[in-house]
A and B are shown apart, each in its own frame.
Chain A
C-alpha cells in the first residue's frame, strides 16, 4: 500500500543542524520530495531526489536516500528561526503519473 510516515515534532537550537526523517512504502517511486509549509501558507518545494541517487545537496539542505530501507532524510545545516515550519515528505505514486503521497508532516521548532 501507499504510506509515508514522519515523526511529528522536532525542536532544535538556532545554529544547530536539524534532521527530519521519513519512511515510505512504495519502492517503485521515481522521485521523493520535501516541501515546507509555513503557518497559513501553501507548500513551498524545497528539494527533490531521484530514486537512483543516494544524496543531494543544495546549499544548507542535504537529502539522503536509503532505498533499501525506504528511508529519506532532510538535513538543514545552521538552522535559523525562519526555518520554523512544517516539513512534508512526499513520494510519487507508482501508477504512471505524478500523484503525490504525503506524510503527516514534521513540525520543526527553532529556539534561541
Chain B
C-alpha cells in the first residue's frame, strides 16, 4: 500500500509566479490536510478537505492561496503570485476518518519544498 505521495519534491519559483503542489492520499483515505513548515518551526495547519469539499480553511492566508480535492485526482494546493515569505515545506497528510477515533491518525507525505527567488 503506497503511502501519501506528493509532487514535486522541490519547486523553485520566481516572485510573482504560481506554485501548484499535488498530493495523492493513501488508498482508502478520503480526508486530506495541508500543513506548512517554515524553517526551524513546527507544522502549522492550513486546510482540511474531504472529496470535493473544503471543511476548514482557517489556517490558510485569505489571498493568493487556494486548495481543492476533486472527485478524481490528487488534492492541489495552489499559491498565486508567490512571494519570498511563501518559501517553506508544505506537507500533505491523509486519514481514513476524522472524528475522534483511532482511525483518524494522519499519515504524512514527504513534503514539497518551495523556494521563491
Residues of B within 8 A of A104 (CB): 41-42
Chain A contact-residue range equals: 20 to 34
CB-contact partner of A97 in B42, B48, B105, B108, under 8 A: B48
Residue A42 at the B interface, CB < 8 A? yes
Given known A98-B104, A99-B48, contact A42–B111 (CB-CB < 8 A)? yes
Distance in angstroms from A6 CB to nearest chain B CB is 8
Contact A41 B110 (CB under 8 A): yes
C-alpha gap A97/B32 in the complex (Å): 12
Contact B43 A88 (CB under 8 A): yes
CB-contact partner of A98 in B41, B95, B109, under 8 A: B95
Residue B69 at the A interface, CB < 8 A? no
Q: Which of A12-20, A43-51, A68-76 contacts B (4 or more CB under 8 A)?
A: A43-51
> Interface residues, chain A, CB within 8 Å of chain B?
4, 30-31, 33, 35, 40-45, 48, 50, 88, 92-93, 95-105
